[in-house]
Every structure is written in C-alpha cells, then in structure tokens.
Amino acid sequence: MSISLSSLILLPIWINMSQIQQGGPDEKEKTTALKDLLSRIDLDELMKKDEPPLDFPDTLEGFEYAFNEKGQLRHIKTGEPFVFNYREDLHRWNQKRYEALGEIITKYVYDLLEKDCNLKKIFIPVDATESEPKSFIFMSEDALTNPQKLMVLIHGSGVVRAGQWARKLIINEDLDSGTQIPFIKRAMDEGYGVIVLNPNENCIEVEKPKTHVQSSSDSSDEPVEKRERKDKVSKETKKRRDFYEKYRNPQREKEMMQLYIRENGSPEEHTVYVWDHFIAKSAAENVFFVAHSYGGLAFVELMIQREADVKSKVTAVALTDSVHNVWHQEAGKTIREWMRENCCNWVSSSEPLDTSVESMLPDCPRVSAGKDSP
C-alpha cells in the first residue's frame, strides 16, 4: 500500500509528540515547540502535492468517454469500461471525479428523454415565478389526453434523477440496464401516455453568502482583560480547527446552501404535487405506476393522502425492491387491502422469476425479480 507524501512528513512529528507527552513536566517545552512547528506547516500546499485539483471536465468527451452502439460507456481511445480508481490511493479525488461524471450522465439522460423518447420537459411548480427555484418532469405529448392508458414512472432515492433507475448500472453496465428508457419506449409502443417523475430534484444549490462574525469584544460589557483572554482562547480554538480542517480538506470547496422547491421539497411532496396537477387531471381511464425502491414509499404516501382518488384512477402498481412499510407509514386497513389486490413487489432474489417470496408485512404480494441484486 502506498503512503502519501504528507503522511511521510508528518508521521515522525506525531510519533515524537506522542513520546514527549508520555514524559514528565520537563518535556512540556519540547511539546510546545513541536506544536508550534506543526502550526507552521502549510498543509494546503503539502496536501495539494498528494491530491490533484478537483477540477473535472463538464462533457463526456472531456472525460474521454462515450456510449457505444450497445449503450455501454467506453473510453474513446482504449475501449475499456469506466475505471473508478483512476488515481491510486486517492479515494476522495476518485469519488469526486465519479460524481462529476454522474452529473454529466444525468444531463445526457435528460437529453435522451427529449430527443430519443420525444418527451416534453415540464417545469414545476406550474405557477412558478421567474426567480423562484424550479424542478421539472417529463411527459409524452398525449400524457394528459390519452383516453385509455397512462404509465407513471418513479425512481428511487439518492443521486438518480428523472429517466434513471441506477447511475451505477448506467456507468458499469449500459443505458438499458440503468435507465427507464426501455420502459418508456415499450409503453409508448403499446399505446400508453407516459409521465416520468423527478422526485429527487427537491432544491437548488447556491453559494452561501459570507457572514461577518462579530467578536465578543464588539458587544460585551466585560472588563478589558477578561475580553482579551476570551478572544485569545477563541483565536487559538479557531487556529486549531483550521489546522485540522486543512489536513482533512485541503482543497476547501465553496460553502453551499439549499433553496427548496415550493411544494416539491421531498419525494413524497413531489409525488403528491404531480398527482394533483397532472395525473389526476389526465383523461386516461387506467393509470399504471412503476415505482422503484423509495418510489414505492412515495406511492404509498400518495395513497394515504389521496386514497379515494388513487383507487378510482389507478389500475395496477408494479413495485421493484420497494422500501415502503405500511406499519411505519400508518397505512390504513382499506389501503392495505387495495394494495393486496392491485400491487406487486418484485424483489431481489435468487429464486426463479415470479416465484412467490415470503413477506413479513400484510400488504402486496412479493415475488422474485429473478436476480440477487437490484
């Protein structure tokens, strides 16, 4: 296992300090001197020698990757799959690189939904002002006017966004495995209108404004000497905190704050909002849901809040590895009975496809998805 440059430099100092601190009072001066030495080390510069800048491309081409004709992500020069450990022993940097690539793939999938699936991007809230935070969903041209059938897709929690089931599968397997595109195309081929929810797009991030922290001496009526002592302690505390923060996070990133989207601040809120403003107003006689993981929990919450409306409009619900819990969510008896008749949860299992799988909860049937992992 390789050892970073900073570790090699700092290790003897830490060891020496440990040995000195085990000594008697006469060693206190040495301890103080070593602490002073450590405080003089510019860890910003030291650590930057270990970790490259967190500055990544904003296009697939910049990463030198592209999706081939099979929908697989491959290096444009070597043809190899994506490599997570691009820089050995730099996990944080590799993770940031992976996340940057993931953001590009999210935009790539959005583009496919519009260009390849012919869906429309619809911004929400529907009455949003120009300046307020917004989210969006995707709909087929006939989503609200199709008189027969409407398919609604809800993904799970985490980094995934509209059109995705699992980012990991998109990157490591292919687009068909990790996106909702095969479901969307088949539904449209079979005459369904389609609505694709975006339940994880709950807020926008903006840079946090810098605030001036007033020192205790600015507003205190305490004696001057006492204020000076307190200010000195405060400065020393801040110095130590900054020292360790430099070591932990040498490339200090911008502090961000979240501005939540009105009536869409959580997956559950988003699902109810889209129901009220789109699904409930659709002309379809039969509405079908496909909900994965946390999407199943969001659907159950929708049932709890709009039970009569859901029962009158929804024909069937296909859940996949749903994490809903009718007890914790306090779903009533009538909801549980409806779910037993109208829902099915396909779960990860080594059993053959559609084999019944035992459930501890008195809700919908559970059957094998025919594979061990989602």
Contact 306, 272 (CB under 8 A): yes
pLDDT above 70 as % of the chain: 75
The count of other CB atoms within 10 Å of the CB of residue 38 is 15
CA proximity to 305, closest of 269, 261, 344: 269
Structure tokens at 37: 């030495």
Residue 122: pLDDT over 60: yes
Three-state secondary-structure class, residue 108: helix
Q: How many CA atoms lie within 13 A of 27 on its CB side?
A: 11
Measured CA to CA, the distance from residue 271 to residue 273 in angstroms comes to 5
Q: Residue 58's pLDDT band (boundaries 50, 70, 90)? A: very high
Q: Is 300 exposed, middle or buried (0-12, 13-18, 19+ CB in 10 A)?
A: buried
As a whole number, mean pLDDT of residues 123-145 equals 97
Q: How many helices (H) and strands (E) does the chain have?
A: 14, 12
Structure tokens at 232: 């000195």
pLDDT above 90 as % of the chain: 64
Q: Which residue has the higher pLDDT, 82 or 373?
A: 82
Q: Select which of 6, 140, 282, 293 is catalytic.
A: 293
pLDDT at 37: 58
The 10s digit of each residue's pLDDT in 170-229 is 999 999 999 999 999 999 999 999 999 999 999 988 888 876 545 544 545 667 666 666
Residue 120 — φ and ψ, nearest 5°? Answer: -100, 140
Contact 172, 166 (CB under 8 A): no
Tell me the pTM. Answer: 0.77
Give me the residues paired with residue 138 across strands.
121, 196
User: What amino acid is encoded at 237 in this protein?
Assistant: T
Contact 286, 311 (CB under 8 A): no
Which residues have C-beta within 8 Å of that of residue 295, sequence separation ≥ 6? 154, 155, 156, 197, 199, 267, 319, 322
Q: Does the active-site annotation cover 2? A: no
CA proximity to 118, closest of 198, 189, 200: 189
pLDDT at 45: 47
Measured CA to CA, the distance from residue 365 to residue 302 in angstroms comes to 19
Residue 218 — φ and ψ, nearest 5°? Answer: -75, -30
The 10s digit of each residue's pLDDT in 18-54 is 554 555 555 666 566 666 656 655 554 444 446 778 8
Residue 107 — φ and ψ, nearest 5°? Answer: -65, -35
Handedness of CA 239, 241, 242, 246 (dihedral sign): positive
Give me the residues paired with residue 319 across strands.
291, 345
The 10s digit of each residue's pLDDT in 239-283 is 666 655 544 455 556 778 899 999 999 999 999 999 999 999 999
Three-state secondary-structure class, residue 366: strand
